[in-house]
């Protein structure tokens, strides 16, 4: 898994990174609420570990942003220096999947993160094989004819949503809400820009078996125009 870690104590940062690395995970660490929010806008995380109290705010602010913009299939475990009932209830009511009391113990922390990730995606995330394309959702990668395609997080999220909604007429507002979140501070022109980039990067002109069609004044539709049985054989 690739984890986002919000922790302001440098010793704790180093220790958590060491533990995650020893378990085969990668991580990006942020020492402030502001920095973590910036990371979330540009980087994909399979799970988050959030300190609850920080100098510039609270893990609750990050948790609220995650639930409003990324949904509920993102595992979140909270680190708290207090194990009183009120703090625990506050974290869980805010949308945390679990909590760990500081100082964390290595085995417990890793086990709780793994369990939270399983609950967030109980069926496992699939690898989509769609003719010329292979979309590895857990690894956040997409390849075309076996060659990796470099995509931003939102380009990847949009591509996944489009591939999972073939032949459906999708409005710009619908795509904006599903991919960017209902409270995102962007407008529908952002959708147009990202669709244009995907059309070029992924050859959505029909040459690779998929064609993106704009619907004037409304939105877009992605159609598969090759023979799925032949292409996926």
Q: What is the pLDDT of residues 20-30, one digit of tens each?
A: 998 888 899 99
Domains in the chain with CATH codes = 2-120 (3.40.50.2300), 127-231 (1.10.10.10)
Residue 19, helix vs strand vs coil: helix
**What pLDDT is stored for residue 184 in this prediction?**
58
**What pLDDT is stored for residue 232 in this prediction?**
44
- For residue range 71-128, list pLDDT tens digits in order: 777 889 999 876 667 777 888 888 888 888 888 899 999 998 988 887 776 555 567 8
- For residue range 124-182, list pLDDT tens digits in order: 556 788 889 999 877 788 999 999 999 998 899 899 889 988 888 999 988 988 888 75
Q: What is the 3-state secondary structure (H, E, C) of 54-85?
A: ECCEEHHHHHHHHHHHCCCCCEEEEEECCCCH
> Does the predicted TM-score (pTM) go above 0.85?
no
User: Which 8-state DSSP code applies to residue 151?
Assistant: -
Strand order across the beta sheet in which 26-30 lies: 26-30, 2-6, 47-51, 75-80, 98-101
């Amino acid at each position: 898994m690739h984890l986002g870690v919000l922790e302001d104590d440098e010793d704790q940062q180093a220790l958590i990174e060491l533990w995650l690395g020893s378990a085969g995970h990668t991580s990006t660490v942020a020492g402030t609420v502001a920095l973590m929010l910036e990371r979330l806008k540009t980087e994909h995380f399979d799970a988050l570990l959030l300190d609850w109290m920080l100098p510039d705010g609270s893990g609750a602010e990050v948790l609220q942003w995650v639930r409003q913009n990324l949904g509920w299939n993102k595992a979140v475990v909270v680190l708290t220096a207090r194990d009183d009932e009120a703090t625990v209830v506050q974290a869980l009511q805010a949308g945390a999947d679990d909590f760990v009391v500081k100082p964390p113990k290595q085995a417990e922390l890793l086990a709780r993160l793994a369990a939270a990730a399983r609950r967030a995606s109980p069926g496992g995330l699939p690898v989509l094989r769609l003719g010329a394309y292979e979309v590895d959702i857990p690894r956040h990668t997409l390849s075309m004819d076996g060659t990796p395609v470099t995509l931003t997080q939102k380009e990847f999220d949009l591509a996944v949503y489009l591939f999972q909604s073939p032949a459906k007429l999708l409005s710009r507002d619908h795509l904006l809400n599903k991919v960017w979140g209902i409270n995102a501070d962007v407008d529908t022109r952002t959708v147009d820009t990202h669709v244009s980039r995907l059309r070029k990067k992924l050859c959505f002109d029909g040459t690779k078996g998929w064609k993106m069609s704009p619907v004037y004044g409304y939105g877009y539709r992605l159609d598969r125009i090759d023979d799925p049985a032949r292409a996926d054989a």
